[in-house]
Amino acid sequence: MNKKERWIIAFILGLISILTCFDLATDMGEGVVWWHLVIEGGVATMALVGVYFLLKGAFELKHSLETEKRLSANLIEESRQWKENSKKYLEGLSLSIDQQLDRWQLTPSEKEVAFLLIKGFSLKEIALYRKTAEKTTRAQATAVYSKAGLSGRSQLAAFFLEDLLLPQK
């Protein structure tokens, strides 16, 4: 339920509680039986409890949303800083990968497929991105592996990335 709906329901429940209390006061003056007064008092109380929980939920949701927005902003800033700090290294890595793909004599299409494979895209995703048939993408990936003398995607990624990771102690 959205914010507007919460406030409308809280307003209606509050109005029910007020009207029930007014009726309760009128009934008390007329000498209505006690159990009728208890039931109406219960209705007024339950309506107020409903208002309380709706408003409490609305404020908790607002607080939670503000917290998530701050966290998201922090993560976006952290990502931006990481990209900024590592930009020169990533450009150098990208250039080195491109040079190796040239040494393997890949066509421009095969190079594009190779980069996307290294990034971790599936063949289906690559085909969608490049607006080609999945069969075409599969054939180009096979050509990349063949020209590189590698057996598949994991060896392709490892060829470029294994020396980047420090050995674990």
Distance CA(129)–CA(55), nearest Å, equals 46
Distance CA(11)–CA(4), nearest Å, equals 11
Q: Token pair for residue 165?
A: 């990771």
Residue pLDDT, tens place only, 69-92: 999 999 999 999 988 888 888 888
The helix (run of H) or strand (run of E) holding residue 165 is none
Q: Token pair for residue 144?
A: 């990349």
pLDDT at 135: 96
Residue pLDDT, tens place only, 7-34: 889 899 999 999 999 988 888 888 889 8
The helix (run of H) or strand (run of E) holding residue 33 is none
